[in-house]
Every structure is written in structure tokens, then in C-alpha cells.
Amino acid sequence: MNIAAIGPPERLEELHSVISSAGLEFTRLESTKNIGKAGYDVIFDLDFDDRPWSISDYQDLPSQAFVFLSSVKIQLEAVVPKSMWNRVAGINALPSFLKRKSLEYCMAEGEPDAGMIARLGWAESNRCASRVGLVSARVILMIINEAFYTLQEGTANKEDIDKGMKLGTAYPHGPFEWCRIIGIKNVYETLKALYDDTLDERYRICNLLKTEYIISQN
């Protein structure tokens, strides 16, 4: 299988840990320009939802090529042409999510070739509805947001909130640990996309979280 991937180094390293477990390697790309001429069978674009305008680079791909696009901040149907719906899957490629044993993905229509996800190194796959945030990002980022509200109200400090969540729920990370792993930029921007998409109060961003995001950008 001829595989290519583009994205931030830490996400590429996560992908490599999965792909290499299946005895595969991939070509690391610096750009998606002229990608249709390279003859790849599978392409991973791990920060596509930060630059969805690059979808035009994929429209000349050969028909057998399959593309996995990061899509927690966007909805696939909003940016992917209908002619590509059956060979493009959206995935949760936020930091730490690719290394899980199950690949969370969505498609506007169709299915990946039988067994392809397993051949790529994931023990399981979980298809979910094509929506902003998919499933796991919605849940975990909402928990992070609520933890910021708890901190803002002075109920507990970050260390105690993390400890309480890990001991009480057996989560692998506390919400502030998860925030550091995922990155405050990704947390804020995905929550904003969720709130803009749903207008659900559960995703209204805590002022303290927003402040930390703004500070991180300066």
C-alpha cells in the first residue's frame, strides 16, 4: 500500500506508531500541491480542518485513492465535493486520538474498502455521523470546558480537578491534562465550531478557557 501523510509532527508521529505496527510506512508530505500525480493509494491529511480550502488539491486524485481528512472542526459535506464523498473519510486526528485502538471516522456516503482500516493498523473502527466534533471530541472537550467553569468558580484547583476525575471516572487523563495534550488552540477552536454549529449551551466556551486561548496566541 502506497501511503502518504501530511500534518503537524506530533500527529504524524502518532500515525506512524499505528501504521508501523501493521508493518507499513508512509511518505511525509510538506504540501498537498500536485498530490493527484503521485499515485498514492491512501492519504492522511491530519490538519485538514485548519485549511479546508486545500480540498481543491484532491480533486484530481485517481479513483482508487482513499483520503482520510481531519474533520472535528468542520462537516465534510460543507467542503468536500459530492463526487468525492465515497472515497473520503473524516477522522478525529486531534493529538492523542489517533493512537487509540479504534479509529473514529465518518463518511458522507459509502464505506472504506473492506478491511482497509484494520490493514492500516487499527484493531477496531467506529463509524459515526458526519457532524462537527464527531463523538469522542464532543465528549472530552465538553468535560474540559466544564472543568474550566469549575476552576473559574473557585471550587477546586487544576491539580485537584484532574486527580478527582481520574480517581472518580478512571479516565486516563484529567481534563486539564487532556487540554495540555490536545492543545488549548485545538480545544478552543473545536468548541467554538461545535457551539456555532449547534448553539447548544453545553459548548458555550468558559471565559477562563477563552482567556487562556487568547494569551496562548500572543
DSSP one-letter string for 132-164: TTTTHHHHHHHHHHHHHHHHHTTS--HHHHHHH
The total number of structural domains in the chain stands at: 2
| Domain final residue pick, 98, 127, 156 | 127
In this prediction, residue 36 carries a pLDDT of: 78
Structural domain span for residue 180: 136-216
In this prediction, residue 71 carries a pLDDT of: 96
In this prediction, residue 8 carries a pLDDT of: 95
| Domain final residue pick, 127, 155, 170 | 127
Same domain, 115 and 166: no
Same domain, 19 and 75: yes
In this prediction, residue 193 carries a pLDDT of: 96
Averaged pLDDT in 10-residue chunks for the chain of 218 residues: 94 96 95 84 96 91 91 95 94 94 93 90 93 94 96 93 90 94 96 95 95 93
Q: CA-CA distance, 104 to 135, in Å (whole number)?
A: 8
Same domain, 74 and 149: no
Q: List 44's β-bridge partners, or say none.
A: 5, 68
pTM given for the model: 0.92
Instruction: Give strand ranges (E) for the chain.
Output: 3-6, 27-28, 42-45, 66-70, 88-91, 102-106, 124-127
In this prediction, residue 4 carries a pLDDT of: 96
CATH number of the domain at 161, please: 1.10.1040.50
In this prediction, residue 39 carries a pLDDT of: 85
Q: Cβ–Cβ contacts within 10 Å for residue 54, how many? A: 18
| Domain final residue pick, 81, 100, 127 | 127
Q: CA-CA distance, 179 to 192, in Å (whole number)?
A: 15
Same domain, 145 and 88: no
